[in-house]
């Protein structure tokens, strides 16, 4: 199994990405690290605990609290998209506490304990990752692979015309992380085209999932309800699954159909382009610094998620 940390702003699809880390035998999830992003920090932590609970893994994977705001700017959330991030779900997880160690220290420590072995799936703003690299100059070198959900490979944003949410919230952190290559092997799963074209579950798929009737399928339907409503309101025909796709592609690289080496950089200025990801290919003088996923086995990804949600679990 792949030893990994999931760095998350836990709401909706982040929860499903956590399920991949918690239930897929190919994963050895060592820690969950929390970063400011989608919804209030307390809600994000609750959502992560509820995910551990529904997976039957409460108390088995530590949750470490990380940066409460972006490196330079005020925090921007996406409560209009996610509500509280779990459809008002209210599970008891009394007696479970987050760890004392700060998430940035956890990232640094776990990477240093097993140089070249730890992978990281970063599915929120990149604040914790950038801070870990500032904290320990060996951090980038120690990490085996960093899979990032963020940016777009055709300039199509979701929080603005130009920017995807994770890069928009902390563009300075995102820029700093891409500057860590080539020491750090980075793979990017963008919002567009791959998420929008290939990781949308339309109503028939959602009906199939609901019909599974497992606690995990019920959880999926509940936590994804707010995103479904929002996605439909902006003309997307179903729910978007960028975060779980990112986890799935790390654990099952055979789901990638086409990827290429790009130079990725992130706009930190710009009146209308804050957080825009410039993904350049074949531009004179720009060395590649990341692999960008452009095409996936969409049916295989859906089957993967459906398989995960079919797992019989006993919430504690």
By the criterion CB under 6 A, which residues form the site for ligand BDR?
11, 13-14, 38, 78, 81, 123, 149, 158, 164-166, 191, 242-243
- Between 103 and 142, CB nearer to Ca ion: 103
- In the complex, the smallest distance separating the C-beta of residue 100 from ligand BDR, rounded to whole angstroms, is 26
180 binds, among ligand BDR, Ca ion, none (CB under 5 to 8 A by kind): none
| Residues in 239-298 that interact with Ca ion by CB under 5 A | 243
| Contacts (Cβ under 8 Å, ≥6 apart) of 208 | 306
Candidate segments 151-159, 193-201, 238-246, 266-274, binder of Ca ion by CB under 5 A:
238-246
List Cβ<8 Å contacts ≥24 apart for 44-49: 44/8, 44/9, 44/10, 44/11, 44/85, 45/10, 45/98, 46/84, 46/86, 47/10, 47/11, 47/14, 47/15, 47/84, 47/85, 47/86, 47/223, 48/8, 48/10, 48/15, 48/18, 49/91, 49/93, 49/96
- Between 38 and 259, CB nearer to ligand BDR: 38
- In the complex, the smallest distance separating the C-beta of residue 17 from Ca ion, rounded to whole angstroms, is 8
- In the complex, the smallest distance separating the C-beta of residue 117 from Ca ion, rounded to whole angstroms, is 25
Phi-psi region of 103 (alpha: psi -120 to 50; beta: other; left: phi over 0): alpha
165 binds, among Ca ion, ligand BDR, none (CB under 5 to 8 A by kind): ligand BDR
Tokens for 174, please give them: 């995102």
Q: Are 4 and 249 in contact (CB under 8 A)?
A: no
Across 123-185, the runs of DSSP E, i.e. the strands, are 143-149
d(CA 166, CA 125): 4
- Between 125 and 215, CB nearer to ligand BDR: 125
- In the complex, the smallest distance separating the C-beta of residue 240 from Ca ion, rounded to whole angstroms, is 11
164 binds, among Ca ion, ligand BDR, none (CB under 5 to 8 A by kind): ligand BDR
Query: Which residue number has the CB closest to ligand BDR?
Result: 165
Q: Are 164 and 157 in contact (CB under 8 A)?
A: yes
- Between 13 and 265, CB nearer to ligand BDR: 13
| Residues in 6-35 that interact with Ca ion by CB under 5 A | 9, 14
Q: Which helix (H) or strand (E) holds 277?
A: strand 277-280
d(CA 180, CA 174): 10
Using CB under 5 A, pick the residue from 87, 124, 125, 157 that binds Ca ion. Answer: 124
Q: How is residue 169 annotated by DSSP?
A: H
Phi-psi region of 164 (alpha: psi -120 to 50; beta: other; left: phi over 0): beta
- In the complex, the smallest distance separating the C-beta of residue 245 from Ca ion, rounded to whole angstroms, is 11
- In the complex, the smallest distance separating the C-beta of residue 157 from ligand BDR, rounded to whole angstroms, is 9
Angle 177-181-187 from CA coordinates, rounded to 5°: 75
**132 SS3 class:** helix
Candidate segments 28-36, 89-97, 235-243, 256-264, binder of Ca ion by CB under 5 A:
235-243
- Between 14 and 24, CB nearer to ligand BDR: 14
- Between 142 and 248, CB nearer to ligand BDR: 248
- Between 109 and 222, CB nearer to ligand BDR: 222
For Ca ion, the binding residues (CB under 5 A) are: 9, 14, 123-124, 243
């Amino acid at each position: 199994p792949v030893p990994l940390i999931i760095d998350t702003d836990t709401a909706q699809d982040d929860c499903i990405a956590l399920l991949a880390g918690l239930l897929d035998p190919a994963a050895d999830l060592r820690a969950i690290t929390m970063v400011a992003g989608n919804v209030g920090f307390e809600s994000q932590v609750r959502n992560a605990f509820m995910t551990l609970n529904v997976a039957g893994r409460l108390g088995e994977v530590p949750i470490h609290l990380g940066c409460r705001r972006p490196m330079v700017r005020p925090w921007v959330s996406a409560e209009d998209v996610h509500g509280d991030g779990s459809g008002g779900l209210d599970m008891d997880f009394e007696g479970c506490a987050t760890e004392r160690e700060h998430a940035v220290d956890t990232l640094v420590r776990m990477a240093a304990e097993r140089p070249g072995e730890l992978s990281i799936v970063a599915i929120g703003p990149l604040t914790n990752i950038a801070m870990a690299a500032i904290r320990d100059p060996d951090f980038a070198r120690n990490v085996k692979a960093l899979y990032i959900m963020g940016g777009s490979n055709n300039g199509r944003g979701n929080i603005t015309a130009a920017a995807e949410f994770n890069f928009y919230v902390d563009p300075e952190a995102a820029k700093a992380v891409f500057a860590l290559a080539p020491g750090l092997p980075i793979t990017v799963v963008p919002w567009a085209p791959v998420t929008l074209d290939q990781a949308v579950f339309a109503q028939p798929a959602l009906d199939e999932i609901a019909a599974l009737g497992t606690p995990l399928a019920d959880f999926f339907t509940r936590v994804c309800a707010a995103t479904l409503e929002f996605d439909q309101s902006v003309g997307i025909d179903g729910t978007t699954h960028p975060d779980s796709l990112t986890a799935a592609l790390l654990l099952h690289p055979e789901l990638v159909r086409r990827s290429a080496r790009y130079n990725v950089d992130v706009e930190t200025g710009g009146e209308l382009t804050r957080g825009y990801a410039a993904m350049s290919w074949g531009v004179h003088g720009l060395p590649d610094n990341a692999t960008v996923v452009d095409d996936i086995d969409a049916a295989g990804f859906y089957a993967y998620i459906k398989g995960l949600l079919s797992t019989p679990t006993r919430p504690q």
